[in-house]
Structure 1
Amino acid sequence: MEKRSMWSFRFSTASLVLIPAAVGINYIGKLFAGVLKLPLWLDAIGTILASMLAGPVIGAISGAVNNIIYGLTMDPISFVYGITSLFIGLIAGVMTHKGWIQSWGKAVIVGLAVGLTAVVISTPLNVAFWGGQTGNLWGDAVFAAVMAKTSSIWLASFLDEIIVDLPDKVLVVLAAYAIYRGLPDNVRQMFHRNSQVEELD
C-alpha cells in the first residue's frame, strides 16, 4: 500500500500546482546564488520541497521541468542535467517517504544522499559534454589541480563535482526542510502524504 501511494501517478490539484511553485523557488535560489556569486547553485530547493510535500514522482517532475524551462529561457546547458534533477527529486521523495525529514540531523543525511546522487549522475555528463569541468569556480580549481597531478579526467571531474554538490545539496535540503517545517499542518496534509511523513516531530 505504501509503495503504491509513493509512486502514484494520480495527482491532486495541490500537487500539480506545486510543480510551477517549485520551479519558481528553484529560480529564486539560483538567482540568489548568482547575484551573491556563491560557489553553490542553490537551484533545487523547490524540487526538494516538492518531494517532501508530494512524493518522489512530483519531485522528479518538478526537477525535470525546472531544467527544461531554464534551458529554454536562460541556459541551454541546463537541458543536459535534467536527468540529474529528476533523480534528485526521486531520492529526496523516497527518503522523505521513509521518514527522513523528522529532524535536522536526518535532513543532513538526506542532503548527503542527494548530493552523492547528483555527483554520480553529473560526473559522466561533465566528462562527455564539458571536458570534465562543472563551470563552478571552486570546483574547476580542484579539477585543474587534480589534472596537474594525476592526469585522470574521471578523478578530477568526480572531485570537481563533489566539492560543489555535497555542500550545495546539504544546504538545499536544509533550506527546503526549514520551509517544510514552517508550513501549517493543514497545508502539508493537502498533499495526502503517508502518516509516517506527516509526523514531523
Structure 2
Amino acid sequence: MSFGASIKRDFTLMAILLIPVAIAINFAGGSLAKTLQLWVFLDSIGTYLVAMLAGPWIGLVTGVLSVMLLSVGDPTMLPWAGLAGLMGLVVGVLARRGWFTGWGGTVGGFLVVAAASVLVSAAITTWLFGGFTTSGVSVLTGLIHENTGLSLFQSVLASHVVGEMLDKAASVLIAVLVVRAVSDRALLRFPHGEVFVSARRKARGGSTVGS
C-alpha cells in the first residue's frame, strides 16, 4: 500500500466523526488528572481508541489536535503535541498489525508505547522545562530528586517511568476494553474493524490471535 493510500484509508467518514469524541475524552481525562495533580495524564485514551479503530494517521492527527486544544488553557502543554501525535501513530501501526486483538499483544503494545513515551517525555521535560512542569508527575520528580542522589535528568526519568507506565497501562487498557465492547457490525465501519473482527472469529474457532 502506498503512503497516500495508507493515509486515505484512515480518513473514512466514520473515523473523522470519531475525532471530536476522542478529543472530548482526552480533554476530560487530562483535565481531571491535572486538577487532582495525579501522577498520570489520562489525556490519550481517546487518541488510542481512534488509532486502534481507524489507523495511525488519524491517530496522529487526533493526538496533535487534542494537545493543541488543551494548550489553550495551559500553554506549557503545546510542546507535547508532537509526542501525542507520535503515540497515536505508534498505536495505530501496532493495531493494524493485530497487536491489540489479544491480551499478550496488548501488553506488548503497552510496553512499546510506554517505553517510547518515557524517553521522549523525560527529554522534553528536562531540556524545555528544566525538569518540572504543571503535571502531577513533577511532584514525584521533586521527591525523588530531593531524597536520592540522582541527577535531575535521572530523577525526571525515574518519575516518568512510574507516571508513564501507570498512564499508558490505564489508557491502553481502557481503549482496548472499549473496542472489545463494540459489536462486529459497528467495528466493520472503521478501517481497522476487520482486524478485530477476524481475531474474534478465529478465537471463537479455538485459535488465539495477538496473544
TM-score greater than 0.5 by the shorter chain: yes
The 5 A counterparts of 1:1-201 are: 1=1, 7-9=6-8, 11-34=11-34, 38-72=38-72, 74-137=73-136, 139-146=138-145, 149-150=148-149, 152-193=151-192, 195-201=194-200
Relative to structure 1, the CA distance from residue 186 to residue 45 in structure 2 (aligned partners, 3 Å threshold; closer, same or farther) is: same
**Identity within the alignment, %:** 27
Checking the alignment, whether the CA contact within 8 Å between 1:56 and 1:91 is kept in structure 2 is yes
CA distance in 2, matches of 1:38, 1:123: 17
Q: Gaps (5+ residues) in structure 1?
A: none
Equivalent residue letter for 1:184: S
Checking the alignment, whether the CA contact within 8 Å between 1:48 and 1:93 is kept in structure 2 is yes
CA distance in 1, matches of 2:114, 2:53: 20
Could you tell me the TM-score, scaled by structure 2's length?
Answer: 0.83
Of stretches 113-122 and 131-140 in structure 1, the one that deviates more from structure 2 is 131-140
Could you tell me the TM-score, scaled by structure 1's length?
Answer: 0.87
Checking the alignment, whether the CA contact within 8 Å between 1:134 and 1:160 is kept in structure 2 is no
CA distance in 2, matches of 1:192, 1:129: 37
CA distance in 2, matches of 1:14, 1:7: 16
Of stretches 100-109 and 31-40 in structure 1, the one that deviates more from structure 2 is 31-40
Checking the alignment, whether the CA contact within 8 Å between 1:45 and 1:175 is kept in structure 2 is yes
Q: Gaps (5+ residues) in structure 2?
A: 201-211
Equivalent residue letter for 2:118: V
Relative to structure 1, the CA distance from residue 120 to residue 138 in structure 2 (aligned partners, 3 Å threshold; closer, same or farther) is: closer
CA distance in 2, matches of 1:6, 1:144: 49
In the comparison of the two structures, how many residue pairs are matched? 199
1:83-126 Cα deviation digits (max 9, x unpaired):
11011101111111111111233222222211111112111110
CA distance in 2, matches of 1:135, 1:71: 12
CA distance in 2, matches of 1:25, 1:122: 21
Equivalent residue letter for 2:184: D
Q: Offset at 1:129?
A: 2.3
Q: Offset at 1:142?
A: 4.1
Relative to structure 1, the CA distance from residue 94 to residue 52 in structure 2 (aligned partners, 3 Å threshold; closer, same or farther) is: same
